[in-house]
Every structure is written in structure tokens, then in C-alpha cells.
Amino acid sequence: MRAKLFKNKLGVMKKAEVVLKLLQGHTAIEEIYPRLNAFQMQDLRDYLEQQVVHFSALKDETPLTLAEIKSKLEPIPNYYYKQDCREPMEACFNETCIASYPGCFSNKMKTQFKIILELLREYTQSPAKT
């Protein structure tokens, strides 16, 4: 059980390595997807969101919140209806569909990565407040 949990998570060093490669332009986000399962994509997405909050706190008087980041993502009902999903919409909101429909979940993560990565680039490519 414990080994399975670790396969579904990325280590801190691996997440940091991926973020650095993405921000430095050494790797395109599309190259990362095939290497990750749906659970690892979720883990990386959560880490990227944390990094946006952290770097916005360094730059802005009022740092971004997780709710503000999520408000920039495609609304879940829009994504859900485009997929013609048979699961209840609630499963899309709370991401419980990850085990039953990992392909659909991974597609959702791909669209979210692009937006979150753009936010992260905004905060890492400009000077921090002093």
C-alpha cells in the first residue's frame, strides 16, 4: 500500500527539477505528460499552484490565493460537459474520477498546467518586491 502511494506522488526534488526545466525552457510541458500518471499530474499541478502562491507573495502586496488561481482555470462544468462524462459532475469537482477515468482527468490537468505555468512565469520572470 505504501509503495503504491509513493508511485502516485512525485518527490520534492523531482517536482523542483520539472519546474526548473519548464521555466528555463529546456523542456516543453507536452514532453512531461507521457512520463506521469494521473495521480502524479495532480501532485505536480498542486505543487505548481503552491509555487504561484509563494512567488506572488514575494512580488505582490496581496499575494494570490489558491481560489484566485483556480478562478483562472476552465470552469469545471464547461470541461465536464465537453467530455460528455457519465460520472456525476461532483466527481469532476472533487477529482474523485481520477481512478475511474484517468485519461479524462489527465486531459483536465493538461489544460490546467498551461494556465498555471503562465502564472508562474509571470511571477518568476519579473523582479520581486524589495
Question: pLDDT of 32-41, one tens digit each?
Answer: 888 899 999 9
The pLDDT, as a whole number, for residue 28 is 82
| Blockwise average pLDDT, block size 10, the chain, 130 residues | 62 90 84 88 94 92 92 94 88 90 89 93 72
Q: Which three cell numbers stand for residue 129?
A: 518586491
The predicted model scores a pTM of: 0.85
3-state secondary structure of 85: coil
